[in-house]
Amino acid sequence: MKAVTLAARDDNQSDIWHPLHIKELPKPSLDEVSSKTHAIVRIDAAALNHRDIFIRQELYPGWKVGAVLGADGVGHVIEGPAEWKDKRVLIAPMDGWKDDPRGPNGPKRFGTRGGSEPMTKDGTLSEYVRCPVEHLELCPSFLSTEEAAALPLAGLTAYRALFVKCQPQKGWNLLVTGVGGGVAMMAVQFAVAAGLNVWVTSGREDKITKAVSIGARGGVSYKRDDWHRQLKSLLPKERPYLDAVIDSAGGDLVERLCPTMRTGGVISCYGQTTLQPLKLTMVAVLKNIEVKGSTMGSSKDFRDMVRFVDEKRLKPVVSHIVDGLDRVEEAFEIMQKSDQMGKIVVRISSKL
């Protein structure tokens, strides 16, 4: 089978950037015992995440040369237990986290699918994946192949950051930073569906416009020095504060937003794309603002997320579609330029 793997880089390169290899690997198989607990999934489509970029830059823990990349995937079960045969399924983007809302609780070591330890052979940028049936969820029937491929990791990360960490209530004011990426766009959709008032930040007006088209009430450009003051002016007079923030940037966010947040407000942080840590100020401490880290989610969160998407009939925003594993570098180029508004999907199966 074909698979996208991480190749060794040239040590003489000034920038750290690993090339990719499209390799022919043995197709995974099942024996009599594993066929009762595992499945072989033919991957119809996969999607990129920023972690795939970070892996190529050696910025993601556990990266490994030779690993198969890709955490998002949708496909059809071709081998495994009879009740799963021929089903269209979403593949969980992680392992080793059952149901504890605080963090991974095993029994196996927690890992993210594809590219890094301990799931280096399990990436979805391949024609077939072998995985335990406990990693599978039936794909909502109304999603296209591309929409389904865009859902797993972004949906899970957004769901946990919003519902598990923020514990929102209908009518809350929520800020989602850095809208345009897959997680931020899903967070907007989830929050709007739950009855929250959502504002966004972005570096591009067209991304703010896209967020408004899926339900956000407005947004500001973080390129403005006074973006936090401009945001405050947009909030309704009857509720002139933020109840919660979902952030992926880090940096001086707490200091800038502290005056705009309610006492006891929550900042749920799932990334630090600025490579600058969030700074918890004494003013924020006195205001009882909670800063919570949020990493992906548990198997329970994944099931709950898929159920929520199904009930609300939410469709992930797909920005770009690339046909075939041989063109995967095109998908990476789009993500590197930050040109996407939503997820970047790679079609894989020729049987679509």
Provide the residue-wise pLDDT of the chain in tens; the chain has 352 residues.
999 999 999 877 778 899 999 999 999 999 999 999 999 999 999 999 999 999 999 999 999 999 999 999 999 999 999 999 999 999 999 999 999 999 998 778 899 999 999 999 999 999 999 999 999 999 999 999 999 999 999 999 999 999 999 999 999 999 999 998 899 999 999 999 999 999 999 999 999 999 999 999 999 999 999 999 999 999 999 999 999 999 998 888 999 999 999 999 999 999 887 777 888 889 999 999 999 999 999 999 999 999 999 999 999 999 999 999 999 999 999 999 888 889 999 999 876 6
Burial 4-17 (b: 16+ CB within 10 A, else e): bbbeebeeeeeeee
DSSP 169-215: -TT-EEEE-SBTBHHHHHHHHHHHHTT-EEEEEES-HHHHHHHHHTT
- Tokens representing 80 are 């495994």
- Tokens representing 286 are 């006195």
- CA 119, 123, 128 angle in degrees (round to 5)? 125
Distance, CA of 74 to CA of 306 (rounded, Å)? 13
Q: Are 301 and 293 in contact (CB under 8 A)?
A: no
Largest CA distance in the chain: 65
Distance, CA of 210 to CA of 216 (rounded, Å)? 9
Distance, CA of 132 to CA of 92 (rounded, Å)? 10
What does R_g of the chain's alpha carbons equal in angstroms? 20
Of 42, 291, 303, the closest CA to residue 155 belongs to 303
- In the chain, beta strands by DSSP E: 2-6, 20-24, 38-47, 72-79, 88-91, 94-95, 111-112, 128-132, 136-138, 173-176, 197-202, 218-221, 242-247, 261-269, 290-293, 318-323, 343-347
Of 128, 131, 130, 120, the closest CA to residue 24 belongs to 128
> What's this model's pTM, rounded to 2 decimal places?
0.94
What structural domains does the chain harbor? 2-154+297-347 (3.90.180.10), 166-293 (3.40.50.720)
Looking at residue 271, its pLDDT comes to 86
Distance, CA of 253 to CA of 8 (rounded, Å)? 37
Give the contacts of 336 (CB within 8 A, at least 6 positions apart).
53
Q: Which helix (H) or strand (E) holds 229?
A: helix 227-234
Neighbours of 258 (CB within 10 A): 19
Give the contacts of 35 (CB within 8 A, at least 6 positions apart).
79, 80, 81
Q: Are 292 and 167 in contact (CB under 8 A)?
A: no
Distance, CA of 331 to CA of 328 (rounded, Å)? 5
Q: Are 180 and 204 in contact (CB under 8 A)?
A: yes
Looking at residue 352, its pLDDT comes to 62
| One-letter identity of residue 66 | G
